[in-house]
Structure 1
Amino acid sequence: MKIKSFRIAVRSVVMGYLLILIILPISAVYIKGFSLGWEPFWKEISGAIAWKAILLTLKLSIFTTLIQAVIGTFIAFVLVRYRFFGRSLFNSMVDLPFSLPTSVSGLMLLTLLGPQSPIGKWLNTMGIHLLYNQAAIIIGMVFVTFPFVIRTVQPLIEQFDPSQEEASYTLGAGKGYTFFRILLPSVFPGIIAGSMLAFSRALSEFGALSLISGNLPGKTMVASVFIYGEVENNNMQGAAAVAIVLITLSLIVLLLVNSFQKRRGIQA
């Protein structure tokens, strides 16, 4: 009886915690966004600047996700299968974007690629500009989403049975064929799950992008920066409307991720 009461108490605390910190804030945004009805909501998100900010965010988030799906898988494979000097340090640093405040990430990129830095000056002499444009947004998104695909694919590569690769080699297959036809299908669910998490994270990025994108309306202003601007202009309806679009997309993505995890037993 005591154990049952304890379980009920723990469940109640957890549900209360989720209600106060997650469900209520999200609900408040939805209520605010639709407080004046559907037409004002649609008017806010279909405005020229708001709509371009949403489309730009979606486009560059998808592009970032594709980059991470390829590069993240490759890095995960290298970290698991190869031993090299500095491997442990690099493996630890993969999670650095998780621990850094995003504004710090933006400052790092601004310092690295700015016109006063050696790299920035060198790139400028070649006519390459990686700040205050869409390229800067992609760089910022790639940095903050760096760990997701790596950390979902790594455990799957570690669990992969090497005998399957050995059998492939024995039958005369090369390394490339074995990787793409034997190993890659086994880790594909992890790639999908990690990519969807990266996409959801890229959608919501603000701190780094606000420093390096230039925030030009209709050109380099992403949805999160637009929301911040609307709040500053005291247009809570407009800010909530665009926020609802991002929240809804993120919730859909997270539901898909959970579905993949349950089917395949992936630990994100």
Structure 2
Amino acid sequence: MSQARLWGFLPAGRKQRALPGFGLTMGLSISYLSLIVLIPLSAVLLKTTSMGWSAFWETISAARVLASLKLTFGMAALAAVINGVFGLILAWVLVRYRFPGRRLVDALIDLPFALPTSVAGISLAAIYAPTGWIGAWAQPYVGQIAFTPWGVLIALVFIGLPFVVRTVQPVLEELEQEQEEVSACLGADRFQTVSKVILPAILPACLTGVALAFARAVGEYGSVIFIAGNVPMVSEITPLLIVIKLEQFDYAGASALAVLMMVLSFIILLAINRLQWYLQARHSGQARSKAARVAAPFALEGAR
């Protein structure tokens, strides 16, 4: 018998836990969540309601705002898809292969996490500018990269790649290679093994990484403004418009744009999460059905 139960601190039959009970931990969680997330977001919503519906609609439907929203969400989605493809490939190489410099490459993936966004933006602008190393070489073939919408895409890909790699990498490490060997022994080619065995297992994690990369890209500011050019109606992102309205002391207009971005981001992330839950449930159901089919002959033989 434990000391706590012997002294009467725990009732008989109750399991001892290392952490306090549900009521205390739930209260602390809600309090922390309220201070960090709910109260600031509520303040933004209350500030937006003070301007009225007509003023709110006039603010969010302006041509300059719509152009910035199209650029921000469009490039964020494109960057998330690019990171989803190449982040998956990079995670696969790091997990399944051993090569010189592997640890260095693995450490460099976390560089966008530690690097200040302004430093990243200045570095990317210097490299992809018309006089930069990559910009001068690419300009005759693809045109100017920096100070255009393509510069925004480069910055968003740079800051979003680690989210996909670090989300998929642990899942690949836990994925047993015996499943691929069994698939090959049963006559499946490489494409069938990847599409039927590997992808269903890692797709929910890949979608999680894509969602995280998208969320980071939508709100990115520091690394984008140095390489975007910030030309209105061309290469101006919505976070920059919010900062401009704050500098003009238009706090209600800035809050309106913040609420709009928050609602759109929440809807897109909710759709991605629902797709992830569906794929995960489908993969679990298929795994259970396969296990049942494999175990059925043994169960019949045992019954006989």
Q: TM-score, normalised by structure 1?
A: 0.88
**Contact kept in structure 1, 2:243 and 2:254, CA below 8 Å:** yes
* In structure 2, distance between residues paired with 1:251 and 1:231: 23
- Report percent identity of matched pairs: 35
Report if the CA contact (8 A) 1:197-1:257 is conserved. Answer: no
Shift of 1:16: 3.0
Out of 32, 49, 53, the position equivalent to 1:38 is 53
Over alpha carbons, which structure has the higher Rg?
Answer: 2
Partner of residue 151, structure 2: 136
When residues 115 and 94 of structure 1 are mapped into structure 2, their CA distance, relative to the original with a 3 A threshold, is same
Structure with larger RCO (C-alpha < 8 A, sep 6+): 1
Q: Which residue of 2 aligns with 1:88?
A: 103
Runs of at least 5 residues in structure 2 that lack an aligned partner in the other structure: 1-8, 11-15, 282-304
Distance in 2 between residues matched to 1:167 and 1:10, nearest whole Å = 45
Distance, in Å, in 2 between the alignment partners of 1:16 and 1:75 is 39
Q: What's 2:73 paired with? A: 58
Q: SS state of the match for residue 223, structure 2?
A: helix
Deviations 1:135-161 (A, max 9, x none): 100001001111111111112111112
Q: Counterpart of 1:164? A: 179
Q: Extract unaligned runs of 5+ from structure 1.
A: none
Q: Tell me which residue corresponds to 1:100.
A: 115
Counterpart-to-counterpart distance in 2, 1:111 and 1:210: 13
Structure-2 separation of matches of 1:14 and 1:169? 48
User: By how many angstroms is 1:171 displaced?
Assistant: 2.2
Partner of 1:200: 215
> What is the RMSD of the two structures over their aligned residues, measured on CA atoms?
2.6
Q: Offset of 1:60 from its aligned partner?
A: 1.1
- Is the contact between residue 245 and residue 253 of structure 2 (CA under 8 Å) also seen in structure 1? yes
Provide the rounded CA distance (Å) in 2 between the counterparts of 1:151 and 1:16.
30
Give the distance between the partners of 1:262 and 1:14, measured in 2 at CA. Answer: 28
Matching of residue 239 in structure 1 with residue 254 in structure 2:
yes
Measure the CA separation in 2 of the matches of 1:249 and 1:224. Answer: 14
Report if the CA contact (8 A) 2:204-2:279 is conserved: no
Q: TM-score normalized by structure 2?
A: 0.79
TM alignment of 1:1-268, pairs within 5 A? 11-126=26-141, 128-253=143-268, 260=276, 264=280
Amino acid at match of 2:114: S
Q: Is the 8 A contact 1:193 1:261 kept in 2?
A: no
Q: How many pairs does the alignment contain?
A: 265
For residues 45 and 53 of structure 1, the distance between their equivalents in structure 2, rounded to whole angstroms, comes to 11
